[in-house]
Amino acid sequence: VKKNPSFLIQTLGCKLNQLESEAITDTFLKAGFTAAQSGESASVIVINTCTVTSKADQKARRLIRKVLRDYPDSQVIVTGCYAQLDKDELQKLDDGNPQRLYIIKKDEILEFISKNFLEEISHGGTEAQSLINENNPCKSVKISGHYYPSGQFEFNPEKFSSHTRSFLKIQDGCDNKCTYCRIRLARGQSISLDAEEVLSRLRMLEKNHAEAVLTGVNICQYGKKILTTEDTEEHGGRESSRDIINNKNFNLAELLDYLLSNTEKINIRLSSLEPESINEDFVKIISHKRIRPHFHLSVQSCSETVLKRMGRNYNSQIIEKTVTLLRSVKDDPFIACDIITGFPGETKNEFEQTYKLCQKLDFAWIHVFPYSKRKGTPAYSFKENVTDNEVKKRVALFTGLAEKGKIAYIQRWLGREADVIVENRNNDKKQGVCYGVTENYLKALVLHNEDHDLKPGEVFRCRVVKKGKNKDYDVETVLMRRV
């Protein structure tokens, strides 16, 4: 009996990459491949890379070398932001057999399958061929009357293989010019998925999921630009001037309002937000009970001078106002932020301004990144680098503050109730115990009566009873009732 080819995906980086890996999984499954488990041999291995920091690049290179070594018989596809920007550098990692390592864009994966594996797919290849024709990423894709180039949105995973929470990509690219950022170079200008299409995808997810995470490179730029048929046809579906406003001309707040008014029960979690985009109108809409009380702010620094050098469009007053506004519409939401420390020329005084404001704002978590020079960005040539030792110290201080913030947040929730979405059953088969995530983003251990059959994706009202004992979970909860 002919065996179908198999695939394995390894993902690095952000939620958007995770979502796109889910979509790639869906594409492989539909094309007739079987999913291999980690450690098993596979016909194709996809590595979805990230390039946010030099550490992310390093991690990707290490993973590529390891995969080439551990899977000598597999074809290896490297895709994602790093692959997009440094194709030649990555191609050099081949193990002497360039026919085995393919550095390609995500929207070229289907083409790759069609060229290399069609014959091997046992259901005759006809289904796979029609799927490939239908989804041919070389053509533009028609969604709600619009054509999109180069596959920015045709990835639409109907089922999520590894998340009980689903993800919905509503935007890609970014029009800001932050001086340290390489992501915008990889992802291009901001482009949004038409609101009607977002709604139809959300309704589809609503059938099987309690929650969807809206993702993009910068979702605050939702609605700025969208393509028209003429643009893409003229350019053969690959490029476009990208300067036409979308159907409904919605911004993010209006999109959320539209989605909430036209769905019934699905909860929405937002990915990263920019401080300057949060105003009174925005928080009025996110006060809706189906918007999860969990916000991640892209703060980076609280020093006016550093923010200016970073090319960011807000100041410390705006950061403070944003946090106050978010807290005014939700009951003690989980508010986290990103901070880059050790940006070129960051003085002790500038560092302290950031540290003190973060301390005052009492974030539930701080993701701290040591600044890393990124090729192709303006900050690459900035002088006055902070010494490695000093950067390490600053990172350690922020890590300490982040941990303190998390503990304080957990303490405030002891004795309170929250909705918990079940993520997986406990592996040690202990009856009456499972894991999940609270609506306010705490990893939870759920203790329950063993009569309850808790399935991944189900939501229960639970009482937070204790701080977690180890890194696997933040809090221990007791199940109260089904939601």
Closest approach, Cβ 272 to ligand SF4, in A, equals: 8
Among 83, 121, 181, 210, contact with ligand SF4 (rule: CB under 6 A): 181
Length of the chain: 483
Query: Could you give the CA distance from residue 402 to residue 362 in angstroms, rounded to a whole number?
Result: 9
From the CB of 310, what's the least distance to ligand SF4, in Å? Answer: 8
The reply to whether 299 sits near ligand SF4 by the rule CB under 6 A is: no
Nearest approach, Cβ of 60 to ligand SF4 (angstroms)? 18
Q: Does 183 bind ligand SF4 (CB under 6 A)?
A: yes
CB closer to ligand SF4, 6 vs 300:
300
The 10 Å Cβ neighbour count of residue 427 is 7
Give the residue with the Cβ less far from ligand SF4, 14 or 259: 14
Cβ 37 to ligand SF4 shortest distance, Å: 34
One-letter amino acid identity for 50?
C
For ligand SF4, which residue of 8, 24, 47, 178 counts as binding (CB under 6 A)? 178
Whether residue 141 contacts residue 154, with contact meaning beta carbons closer than 8 Å, is answered with yes
Of 15 and 448, the one with the shorter C-beta distance to ligand SF4 is 15
* Helices (H) then strands (E): counts for the chain: 15, 20
- Complete DSSP assignment for 153-188: S----SS-SS-SSEEEE-EE------TT--HHHHH-
Contact 444, 420 (CB under 8 A): yes
49, 143, 375 from 186: Cα distances, Å: 11, 24, 12
The binder of ligand SF4 chosen from 14, 121, 174, 219 (CB under 6 A): 174
Which residues in the 212-251 window bind ligand SF4 by CB under 6 A? 217-218
Q: If binding is defined by CB under 6 A, does position 195 make contact with ligand SF4? A: no
Q: For ligand SF4, which stretch binds (CB under 6 A), given 176-184, 207-215, 256-264, 335-343?
A: 176-184
Reduced to 3 states (helix: H, G, I; strand: E, B; else coil), residue 470 is: coil
> Cβ of residue 51: shortest distance to ligand SF4, in angstroms?
11
Measured between alpha carbons, how far is 478 from 406 in angstroms, rounded to an integer?
A: 20
Q: Which is nearer to ligand SF4, 219 or 364 (CB)?
A: 219
Structure tokens of 231? Answer: 């643009």
The nearest distance, CB 371 to ligand SF4, in angstroms, is: 12
Least separation, in Å, of the C-beta of 458 and ligand SF4? Answer: 35
Q: Binding ligand SF4 by CB under 6 A: which of 176, 247, 305, 426?
A: 176
The residue (of 124 and 376) whose beta carbon lies closer to ligand SF4 is: 376
Q: Which stretch binds ligand SF4 (CB under 6 A): 5-13, 163-171, 178-186, 451-459?
A: 178-186
| Site size with ligand SF4, rule: CB under 6 A | 8
Q: Nearest 5 degrees, angle CA 329-CA 332-CA 335?
A: 90
Nearer to ligand SF4, 10 or 48 (CB): 48
Residue with tokens 């790759």: 112
Report the residue number, 11 or 190, with the smaller CB distance to ligand SF4.
190
Strand partners, 45: 8, 76
For residues 85 to 124, the per-residue mask of contacts with ligand SF4, x marking binding by CB under 6 A and - elsewhere, is ----------------------------------------
Residue 133 falls in which region: left (phi positive, over 0), alpha (psi -120 to 50) or beta: alpha
Minimum CB separation of residue 148 from ligand SF4 in Å reads: 20
The one-letter code for the residue type at 361 is L
User: Token digits for 13?
Assistant: 């980086």
Nearest to 32 by CA among 160, 130, 141, 158: 130
Give the pairing of strands 166-169 and 211-215.
parallel
Nearer to ligand SF4, 62 or 177 (CB): 177
Classify strands 459-467 and 417-425 as parallel, antiparallel or unpaired: antiparallel
Name the segment binding ligand SF4 (CB under 6 A); options: 19-27, 179-187, 238-246, 386-394.
179-187
Alpha carbon dihedral 65, 70, 72, 76, in 10-degree steps, equals -50
Spatial CA neighbour of 433 closest among 471, 478, 482:
478
Closest distance between ligand SF4 and the C-beta of residue 399, in Å? 21
- Residues near ligand SF4 (CB under 6 A): 174, 176, 178, 181, 183-184, 217-218
